[in-house]
A and B are shown apart, each in its own frame.
Chain A
């Protein structure tokens, strides 16, 4: 009998009752006795020397408690923000890692860079005081886009970083690639920009910090995806607070998408300031402030070329990318366009030789770091666009060229030329299924019908693979990670048989309270109502690495599975003792311990109770209690993949693009809860469609002002832009995770931008258009159609 709340059960999310009835408990909801309010004074200039900060007027206002600056930080010996990942350049030297002070230290490097922190009795007072702080700026010319920042005459952000170059990095076999190009029958090229994005989680960032002198303990409540890592980075590197004296809590968090997986300056400043003034302080980022202080994502300028033989077989791929780091290195900044990008350039193809070089460039913009997909959407977009260009130039069918180059199912595990070894997958199977579901064969008729209504119609496919489940520590540390990437779980069985799980990941919309409970339910036979999942508080939960890179289920879920296995083993020992049988004769099935071949049995609840009432335990061989912990470090990444097909219509007169159909067939390994997987796909695809059609962080090239600094100008994808999405899974279980899970948090965002863009290019191909950059805004598409100079485009 299948467990109704076990693995694969389509149950509704346990946590949603509190969220949809407004009873979530977010950082901004917190009130602490004696709490004060903090506001940051931020730079209005992209690049300037700070000659002085005059807080006289602010400090004279009654109720203003402090105005703190970088000089105060320095005087207190507060360190800069650390980087969690160091990369090494072609020259064998480590990346340039200039200091990243939590408040500007004599210079500001982007609009939004924090200069001072004001603490007052009320928010209104703090705002007024912040407005009265006079900062004397000496404005410098700014280097805004990556292309500008690498010019020889570009202004330098850091005196000791020549050319604004953080690192000139590469991966792959350059000589093999050069040789393959030299002998190639055909070379296809692409130049592209991967547009800069702003994550905009629904809940803005916020923090509350408090110091308790009686215990000398400090608590930071913060909107974080990884509270333990914040405790480690901030406590150990920035503020030098011993780990056991520091508690970091990330309560309910309203969306992260990567934006909340960094250790931010505000967290350190608040914690430091609360200790300094001896009162709790709250800061809640407002939306405008979020636009200029949340780390941004993507922002690549890339040239790439593919060498092919005359039959359309890929021989080699060469990629050169300029990646924007922004004004400082964010926690994982340099890792994203390198280690999370280049290894995915093989895609689902057998391309035998690949070489990728990436220049990580400082610019006078907000720091750039991971955003849902992080590196992998950029790789997928490049490969899948280039494959379409190859097909067009060789006059081949887009499906045929993919089929010709795809890694066959039988070839797994498959070692790519770019470090990673795919453990499992079936790209051809995913593609065939997607072609059928999307009725690819019937497209011509639909195109004709659209043409009758005066609209161009296009169809596009993206067949992708990604690497997630971050990460095998051994491999990651070799690639520059400055920490491990395992995960931890504790299963605490109470005397009643009810279960509390303490897990090191953090749920901020993903539904862990349900998914993880289903895993425990499957393992222990306890219904999910009797299982609570606890996370997000370093005082409650053992060290964990948190949630990002689609790792929670793959890595955390595996730790949980192993901890549950330990519970079963302990339960079998107790049962063996009570039932007077050998351990090997005791089995656990459907929540019951029994002696094989007999009717002697004990329920899970009975064993749980006796674990805590050990009347006659052989104490030297059997400890009381029923609580187990596991740390799990994966042996490999996991590699979800799939095929996405988009269909669009383009308005010939206005250039507006409408997404009219979307099909996704994804290989996400074992599905724990199909509703949650569909939800992750819906959200992920919509974010990818946002990148393809409308989202773009636009800076003024001269002044470095963010022009798209509010929702009036930064276009978020909306429900009314989305057609019905046909979502299916075609799973090959992961070969190395306990449950066969692969991760599904980012696949939607990774597969969709190329599918949508390929569809738009297909729609416009009759005008001779071979590539368009994202986002496909109406003005951009109109301009491209205009330039194609067809009579109807000029009307």
Chain B
């Protein structure tokens, strides 16, 4: 790791000021994605601005229609939160299945979303639930937030502060883990609302995406049967030594059915 300055501001304004005034500064949340890149010397930053001391950034609150999770909330906190368990238990289960205990005790919701790793779990939930991503400058809808491989709508220096999730009638997540990294080879989140069903797949493509034909079928009938035999096209999906594109395409179908089963069992 190359040397860098390290700042731990205690409020958002300070953090924003540091980011604005220091060239080549980066935000650090849990560091679980950023630190490996620095240690491998694939990136270097003059300064890191750690959000860990900012008051309230880790709060989790829930009303009847909406769950709000601070960008600094650790995966382990989300997994164990009674508010999350009461409103969107599938989200707690998802957080509890990220990486390993070390990663869950450090990694944050904001860090995952800003990073937009194609194999990360949260993006599937955020997109399927139609969540809003709030920053120190504005609010963004999930549908416009994820832009591509490791790319989001965030501007330089923009800080995610919290994410609000509409509470669905039912939801489920099914993940096919990479046996090596335990990231998602394919993860599918299904969320059923009064207005209809939303389905989002992560791991399969360069960026999380919605599976519209499954949404339509499930809106008609929220059962595994409704999407029996359905997959997505393999074209443009990720291929690597663990999973070829056609296998990922197949897994989107399998995981979607398992996610529906999980939602129905909840």
Q: Which residues of A contact B (CB under 8 A)?
A: 124, 127-128, 131, 288, 653-654, 656, 693-694, 696, 698, 707-708, 711-716, 777-779, 782-783, 795
Beta-carbon contacts under 8 Å, B114-161 to A: none
Contact A712 to B181, CB < 8 A, known contacts A127-B41, A653-B254, A654-B176:
yes
Q: B180, A714: Cβ atoms under 8 Å?
A: yes
Interface membership of B187, Cβ < 8 A: no
A286 to chain B minimum Cβ distance, whole angstroms, is 9
Q: Chain A residues near B250: list those with CB within 8 A.
A: 782
A532 to chain B minimum Cβ distance, whole angstroms, is 37
Q: Chain A residues near B180: list those with CB within 8 A.
A: 694, 708, 711-716
Q: Chain B residues near A707: list those with CB within 8 A.
A: 240-241
Q: B181, A288: Cβ atoms under 8 Å?
A: no
A124 to B244, CA, bound (A): 39
Q: B241, A708: Cβ atoms under 8 Å?
A: yes
A124 to B178, CA, bound (A): 33
Show 16 A/B contacts (Cβ-Cβ < 8 Å), sorted by A. Answer: A124-B2, A124-B3, A128-B2, A653-B254, A654-B176, A654-B254, A694-B179, A696-B241, A711-B181, A712-B181, A713-B181, A777-B242, A778-B243, A779-B247, A782-B250, A783-B244
Interface membership of B253, Cβ < 8 A: yes
A777 to B228, CA, bound (A): 25
B257 to chain A minimum Cβ distance, whole angstroms, is 8
Interface membership of B251, Cβ < 8 A: yes
Query: Pick the contact of A715 from B41, B179, B254 — CB < 8 Å?
Result: B179
Q: A777, B254: Cβ atoms under 8 Å?
A: no
Q: Which residue of B lies closest to A700 (CB)?
A: B241
A148 to chain B minimum Cβ distance, whole angstroms, is 18
Give the one of B41, B176, B180, B229 with max A CB within 10 A: B180
Q: Chain A residues near B266: list those with CB within 8 A.
A: none
A340 to chain B minimum Cβ distance, whole angstroms, is 29
Interface membership of B194, Cβ < 8 A: no
Contact A795 to B2, CB < 8 A, known contacts A694-B179, A711-B181, A779-B247:
no
Q: Chain A residues near B65: list those with CB within 8 A.
A: none
Q: Chain B residues near A693: list those with CB within 8 A.
A: 179
Interface membership of B265, Cβ < 8 A: no
Query: Pick the contact of A779 from B2, B228, B243, B253 — CB < 8 Å?
Result: B243
For the residues of B in contact with A, the DSSP-based class is: loop
Interface membership of B5, Cβ < 8 A: no
Q: Chain B residues near A715: list those with CB within 8 A.
A: 178-180
Q: Chain B residues near A698: list those with CB within 8 A.
A: 241
Q: Which residue of B lies closest to A783 (CB)?
A: B247
B29 to chain A minimum Cβ distance, whole angstroms, is 20
Q: A654, B179: Cβ atoms under 8 Å?
A: no
Query: Pick the contact of A131 from B41, B176, B229 — CB < 8 Å?
Result: B41
Q: Which residue of A lies closest to B230 (CB)?
A: A795
Q: B3, A713: Cβ atoms under 8 Å?
A: no
A782 to B245, CA, bound (A): 13
A653 to B229, CA, bound (A): 11
Residue-by-residue, is B220-249 near A (CB-CB < 8 Å gives 1, otherwise 0)?
A: 000000001100000000001111100100
Residue-by-residue, is B3-36 near A (CB-CB < 8 Å gives 1, otherwise 0)?
A: 1000000000000000000000000000000000
A696 to B179, CA, bound (A): 12
Q: Which residue of A lies closest to B183 (CB)?
A: A712
A783 to B249, CA, bound (A): 13
Query: Pick the contact of B228 from A127, A694, A782, A795 — CB < 8 Å?
Result: A795
A749 to chain B minimum Cβ distance, whole angstroms, is 19
A778 to B175, CA, bound (A): 14
A795 to B241, CA, bound (A): 23
Q: Chain A residues near B244: list those with CB within 8 A.
A: 779, 783
A756 to chain B minimum Cβ distance, whole angstroms, is 14
Query: Pick the contact of A713 from B40, B241, B251, B253 — CB < 8 Å?
Result: B241
Q: Which residue of B lies closest to A775 (CB)?
A: B179
Given contacts A712-B178, A713-B180, A778-B247, 5 further A-B contacts (CB under 8 A): A653-B254, A696-B241, A707-B240, A714-B180, A716-B180
A779 to B178, CA, bound (A): 11
Q: Chain B residues near A779: list those with CB within 8 A.
A: 242-244, 247
A707 to B254, CA, bound (A): 27
Q: A288, B242: Cβ atoms under 8 Å?
A: no
Q: Chain A residues near B241: list those with CB within 8 A.
A: 696, 698, 707-708, 713
Q: Chain B residues near A714: list those with CB within 8 A.
A: 180
Q: Chain A residues near B243: list those with CB within 8 A.
A: 778-779
A96 to chain B minimum Cβ distance, whole angstroms, is 32
Q: B229, A795: Cβ atoms under 8 Å?
A: yes
B174 to chain A minimum Cβ distance, whole angstroms, is 10
Q: A777, B179: Cβ atoms under 8 Å?
A: yes
Q: Chain B residues near A795: list those with CB within 8 A.
A: 228-229, 253
A708 to B241, CA, bound (A): 8
A694 to B179, CA, bound (A): 7
Contact A713 to B254, CB < 8 A, known contacts A131-B41, A783-B247:
no
B260 to chain A minimum Cβ distance, whole angstroms, is 14
Q: Which residue of A lies closest to B40 (CB)?
A: A288
A215 to B235, CA, bound (A): 69
A707 to B179, CA, bound (A): 15
Q: Which residue of B lies closest to A696 (CB)?
A: B241
Q: B229, A782: Cβ atoms under 8 Å?
A: no
A263 to B180, CA, bound (A): 30
Q: Chain B residues near A713: list those with CB within 8 A.
A: 180-181, 240-242
A195 to chain B minimum Cβ distance, whole angstroms, is 12
Nearest first, the 6 closest Cβ-Cβ pairs linking A and B are A715-B180, A712-B181, A653-B254, A715-B179, A779-B247, A698-B241
A782 to B241, CA, bound (A): 14
Q: Which residue of A lies closest to B239 (CB)?
A: A779
A209 to B250, CA, bound (A): 55
A782 to B178, CA, bound (A): 15
A346 to B160, CA, bound (A): 65
Give the one of A713, A714, A715, A779 with max B CB within 10 A: A779
Q: Chain B residues near A696: list those with CB within 8 A.
A: 241
